[in-house]
Amino acid sequence: MAELTLHQTMFALVISLVAFLFVLELVRRRRLLEEYSWLWLLTAGAMVLLAVWYRLLIVITHIVGAVTPLNTLLLCAVLFLFAIAVHYSVIISRLSTQVKNLAQELALLSSRVDEPRS
C-alpha cells in the first residue's frame, strides 16, 4: 500500500495534535475532570501515533484482514464511540445511585428538622 505524502502526513498530524491539545486544555482549565479525560487522550494519542507512523496502520490493517487502511480507521472509530458511550453509561449509573442516595438522605434529614417533636 502506498505511503502518505508529506502533505497528507502534515495535515493528519496537525488535526491529531489539535485534538490532543484541546483535551489537555480542557483538563488544564478544569472543564474536564482527569477521571473522564483518559479515554479521549488515549484516542487523540492514537490519532497522533497513526499520523506519524502510517506503517502501523497498514500492519493493523493486515492483522484484522481489512481491505484498505480506511476500513481499519472506520472500525477503530466505531469501537471508540462504543467504548465512550458505555463509559458514559457506567458513569451515569453511578451518578444516578449517588443522586438517589443523596435525595433519600436529604428527605430523612429534613424530616427530622421539620418535625422536632418526633
Partner 1 sequence: MKPPLVLVPAFNEAARIGRVLAGVRAAVPDAILLVVDDGSADDTAAVARAAGARVVRLPFNLGAGVAAQTGYKLAVREGYDCVVQLDADGQHEPADIPALLAVIAHDEADVAIGSRFLDGANTYRPGLLRRAGMGLFRWLAWLLTGMRFSDVTSGFRALGGDVVRFVATEWYPTDYADADVLITLRRAGFRLREVPVRMYPRTGGLSMHAGLRPVYYVFKMLLSVALAPLRREPAQRKGA
Q: Which of residues 78-97 bind partner 1 (CB under 8 A)?
A: 97
Residue 110 to residue 114: CA distance in whole angstroms? 6
The CB density around residue 11, as the number of other CB atoms within 10 Å, is 13
Which of the stretches 1-9, 16-24, 82-90, 108-116 binds partner 1 when contact is defined by CB under 8 A?
A: 108-116
CB of 85 to partner 1, least distance (A): 19
Query: Letter for the amino acid at 98?
Result: Q
- For the chain, how many helices (H) and strands (E)? 4, 0
Q: Find, among 83, 3, 99, the residue nearest to 51 by Cα.
A: 3
- The residue within the footprint of partner 1, chosen from 63, 67, 107, 113 (CB under 8 A), is 107
Nearest approach, Cβ of residue 113 and partner 1 (Å):
11
Which of 68/97 has CB closer to partner 1? 97
**Any contact of residue 110 with partner 1 (CB under 8 A)?**
yes
